Amino acid sequence: MKVLVKSARIVDNESPFHNKVMDILIDNGVIQEIAPSIEAQDVGREISFENLHVSQGWFDSSVSFGEPGYEDRETIENGLKTAAKSGFTGIALNPGNLPVTDNKGAVSFLRSKAETSPVSLYPIGSLTRNSEGVDMAELYDMQQAGAIAFGDHKKAVSNPNLLKIALQYAQNFDGLVQSFPQENKIAGNGSVNEHENSTYLGLKGIPALAEELQITRDLYILEYTGGKLHIPTISTAKSVEIIRVAKENGLDVSCSVAIHNLLFTDEVLKDFDTNAKVLPPLRTKADIKALIAGVKDGTIDMVTSDHFPVDVEHKKVEFDNALFGTLGLESAFGALLKIFSLKTVIRVLLAGRSRFNLSEDIIDEGSQANFTFFDPDTEYTFELSDIHSTSKNSVFLGEQLKGKVLGIFAKGNFFSA
């Protein structure tokens, strides 16, 4: 079927049509023509919006649903619909379900559940069996089944020798190893950032040291072993500096930051809102300033929604007993545009593709059509009606956001937001 996109401003630095308002003709999922005005025959669908912008389809490197095991939090089907409505044509799905994604059968199951969705689901395999941190999982078999990286979601690799062996072994098939940045013995039972606010609120704190020490250890191991390491969701100023130095020294390391850690400080915890209980915890204004600078200069490779649905029974409880996590897909674009220029926002929403060895579909004639459509100028208050997830645990509720997703085009189909 032919699809005609009318008067869209192309936002793609790699495209010869970057920053130009053009019509785009798509036939069977392939871009046939890009021109200022196209009059085509037999067009099955025309896509036209006011202030229409288009970029390559966005990718999120850290998304959690619930299925299998926690379908009451989120199913794969509805989670992928939420991702599509949020502008993402690809997501990396964390292995923190039940059973854990620690074998090729589990990877194949997740991929099969997404076959009919316009959003591509890329499983992250668990680094260890059952994510227990004891025995290494079947990394090669999972990669052959479609896993794009390996890590125990929100669980640190406590055994340094296990990380060493994993980095050495994964080099045999160019595997990407993830290590969550937290030294558990220092973090203890903390639930918020260790700072004056944690003292004021009477809550146990997680010191920045817990993150920075773990990152330093992991980078020493990476220097010894070689290989590829990804550090998901860093949150402190010193972490940015440690990774910046490691990159300058030639280590093959990448990192991400969660969008909520770029926008909120631990001061939002004054009302004990459990939606703001996230891991790593919300830090300080100084940390946010350094994180934003790290995104701008490329030290931080990508941002992630770190989308984590939690049902009401595990959020509307005492703060210490609430689960960590917030929704993030639906608010990702609007929150980022509050902080960065449109050019930077699109860059960081695409950057994960190259690191995870996924295709990059430049907007040019002859390329596969993999698009996100959006209006970068709409301002609105993020409300409950903007949440498409089954769970409703969003720290962004009530925030003024900028930028609306209009839809995606992927796998030959248009999906409206």
Q: Which of 306, 375, 377, 386 is catalytic?
A: 306
- Looking at the structure, tell me whether residues 175 and 47 fall in a common domain: no
Among 166, 187, 185, which residue's Cα sits nearest to residue 177?
166
- Looking at the structure, tell me whether residues 25 and 124 fall in a common domain: no
Cα–Cα distance, 164 to 225 (Å, whole number): 7
Burial of 384 (0-12, 13-18, 19+ CB in 10 A): exposed
Q: 311-317 — which CB contacts under 8 Å span 24+ positions? A: 311/70, 311/72, 311/73, 311/390, 311/391, 312/391, 312/392, 312/393, 315/274, 315/275, 315/391, 315/393, 316/274, 317/274
pLDDT at 41 (0 to 100): 86
- Looking at the structure, tell me whether residues 333 and 372 fall in a common domain: no
Cα–Cα distance, 236 to 213 (Å, whole number): 11
- Start-to-end CA span in the chain (Å): 21
Opening angle at CA 157, ends 174 and 163, nearest 5: 40
- Digit-by-digit pLDDT tens for the chain (417 residues) are 899 999 999 999 999 999 999 999 999 999 999 999 999 889 999 999 999 999 999 999 999 999 999 999 999 999 999 999 999 999 999 999 999 999 999 999 999 999 999 999 999 999 999 999 999 999 999 999 999 999 999 999 999 999 999 999 999 999 999 999 999 999 999 999 999 999 999 999 999 999 999 999 999 999 999 999 999 999 999 999 999 999 999 999 999 999 999 999 999 999 999 999 999 999 999 999 999 999 999 999 999 999 999 999 999 999 999 999 999 999 999 999 999 999 999 999 999 999 999 999 999 999 999 999 999 999 999 999 999 999 999 999 999 999 999 999 999 999 999
pLDDT at 40 (0 to 100): 85
Q: Which of 335, 355, 375 is the endpoint of a domain?
A: 355
The whole model's pTM is what? 0.97
CATH of the domain at 225: 3.20.20.140
- Looking at the structure, tell me whether residues 25 and 90 fall in a common domain: no
Q: Which of 310, 338, 355 is the endpoint of a domain?
A: 355
- Looking at the structure, tell me whether residues 246 and 188 fall in a common domain: yes
- Looking at the structure, tell me whether residues 223 and 278 fall in a common domain: yes
Amino acid occupying residue 319: F
Domain of 31 in residue numbering reads as 2-54+364-416
- Looking at the structure, tell me whether residues 150 and 236 fall in a common domain: yes
Cα–Cα distance, 292 to 166 (Å, whole number): 31
Q: Which of 355, 378, 395 is the endpoint of a domain?
A: 355
CATH of the domain at 30: 2.30.40.10
Evaluate the CA torsion angle 396, 402, 406, 408 in order and state its sign.
negative
Q: What does the longest C-alpha to C-alpha distance in the chain come to?
A: 68
- Looking at the structure, tell me whether residues 168 and 258 fall in a common domain: yes
- Looking at the structure, tell me whether residues 63 and 50 fall in a common domain: no
Exposed e or buried b for every residue in 257-267, given b needs 16+ CB within 10 A? Answer: bbbbbbbbbbe
- State yes or no: is 27 an active-site residue: no
The neighbouring-strand residues paired with 256 are 302
Distances (CA, A) of 39 to 3, 53, 371: 12, 20, 21
- Looking at the structure, tell me whether residues 234 and 312 fall in a common domain: yes
pLDDT at 1 (0 to 100): 87
Could you tell me how many residues make up the chain?
Answer: 417
For residue 158, how many other CB atoms are within 10 A of its CB? Answer: 15
- Looking at the structure, tell me whether residues 341 and 320 fall in a common domain: yes
Total domains in the fold of the chain: 2
Amino acid occupying residue 68: P
Distances (CA, A) of 402 to 64, 246, 334, 383, 399: 24, 34, 5, 13, 10
- Looking at the structure, tell me whether residues 408 and 304 fall in a common domain: no
